[in-house]
Amino acid sequence: MGFQQAAIKVEREKEFGALRGALNDVFAPPRVEQFLKRLNSKGIRVRDFELVVASGVLEQVDEYLAKSGARKLYEALPTSDRGQLREFYLSKMEEVDPSLRAKYQKLYR
C-alpha cells in the first residue's frame, strides 16, 4: 500500500485559493522560464519556497500577485495552510519540463 496524504481542511480558503491559482499560472509553460530566470538572477534555489515568497519574484511574474502581494497573502495563512501550499508548490516545481529543469539545474540542487 502506497503513501496516502491525509486530507487537511483549508482554513483560509480565499487566500489559499488565490495563491494556489497564481502558482498554477507561474508554473504554466509560457511563464515558468521567466520565473526560473528571475530566481536564477537573485540566486534563489527553487526549493526554498519561503525565500521565493519573501523575494518578490512571484509578484514579478504574476499580475494578480503583483496587485495582492504573495507575501501578504502567505503570511495571512495559518501554519497548516502554509504547509499545504508549500507541498503544492513543490509538486508543481517537479512537473516543470525536464529540458527546463536541466537548463536551470543549479536552481534545482
Nearest to 36 by CA among 91, 99, 100: 100
Q: pTM for the complete prediction?
A: 0.84
* Domain coordinates in residue numbering, the chain: 13-108
Residue pLDDT tens, the chain, 109 long: 554 555 778 888 888 999 999 999 999 988 999 999 999 999 999 999 999 999 999 999 888 888 888 899 999 999 999 999 999 999 999 999 999 999 999 988 8
Q: What are phi and psi of 86, to 5 degrees?
A: -60, -45
Integer Cα distance of 23 and 36 in angstroms: 13
Integer Cα distance of 19 and 62 in angstroms: 10
Q: What is the pLDDT of residue 3?
A: 44
Q: What is the pLDDT of residue 13?
A: 87
Nearest to 20 by CA among 89, 94, 107: 89
